[in-house]
Amino acid sequence: MWHAMNWDVIGAVATVLGVLGGFVSVYFLIHEVRRNALAIEGATVHSLMNFEQAVYAILVDNAALFVKGSLDYKSLTPDDCFKFDMVVQSYMSLHYSAFKQHEQGLIDAEVWQAYANAMTAKLAKPGFATSWAAMQRHYPQTFQNFIATLLPV
C-alpha cells in the first residue's frame, strides 16, 4: 500500500509541477511577444524616420519650387509642375507608408496623428491639394478616402 500511495503522491506532485511549468512558459512567451512587438514598433518608427529624412531632404532641395507650387500651382511651368508633382508624390508616399504601418498596428496612434497633422497642413495649401488630386488614383482607395477626410471643405 505504501508503494501505491507514494506513486500517487509523486504523480500528483509531478502534475502540479508540470502545470506550474506550463504557466511559467506561457508567462515567458507573453513577455517575449510583448518585447518583440515593441522592438518591431521601434524599428518601424526608425524606418519611417529615415524615409522622412530623405523626403525632407527633397523638400529642402526644392524649397522655392515647393513653396511656390503649394501656393499657386497654375504659376508653374510644365517642367516645374512635373518636379513639384514628384516632390508631392514623395511626400505622400512617406505618409502612405505611415498610414499602412498604422493600419497594421506597427506604429501607435500618437505617431500616426503626427503624420496626419502634417498632411492636413500641406493639404490646406491649394497647389498641394491640386497636385494630390491629380495623383491620388495611384494610391489605394483606403488611403484616398482617409486623405479626403483631411481636405479643407
Per-residue model confidence as pLDDT tens digits over 22-55: 877 877 777 677 777 667 667 766 677 787 899 9
Contact (Cβ atoms closer than 8 angstroms) between residue 114 and residue 48:
no
Q: CB-based contacts of 92: which residues, under 8 Å, 6+ apart?
A: 119, 132, 135, 139
The pLDDT of 127-132, averaged and rounded, is 95
The pLDDT of 71-79, averaged and rounded, is 96
Is 70 a residue whose pLDDT tops 80?
yes
Per-residue model confidence as pLDDT tens digits over 132-151: 999 999 999 999 999 999 88
17, part of any domain: no
Residue tagged 508616399 (cell numbers): 93
Q: What is the residue-wise DSSP string for 81-106? A: HHHHHHHHHHHHHHHHHHHHHHHTTS
Report the phi/psi class of residue 151: left, alpha or beta, with left for phi > 0 and alpha for psi in -120 to 50: beta
pLDDT of residue 105: 86
Sign of dihedral through CA atoms 10, 16, 21, 22?
Answer: positive
Residues of the domain holding 86: 44-150
The pLDDT of 59-63, averaged and rounded, is 94
Number of domains in the chain: 1
Contact (Cβ atoms closer than 8 angstroms) between residue 1 and residue 8:
no
59, part of any domain: yes
What is d(CA 141, CA 48) in angstroms, rounded to the nearest whole number?
22
Mean pLDDT lowest for which of 5-19, 47-61, 99-113?
5-19
Residue 124: DSSP 8-state: T
114, part of any domain: yes
Which is nearest to 48 in space by CA: 88, 123, 108, 132? 108
Task: Say what the pTM is.
Answer: 0.73
Contact (Cβ atoms closer than 8 angstroms) between residue 129 and residue 86:
no
11, part of any domain: no
Mean pLDDT lowest for which of 7-16, 37-46, 94-103?
37-46
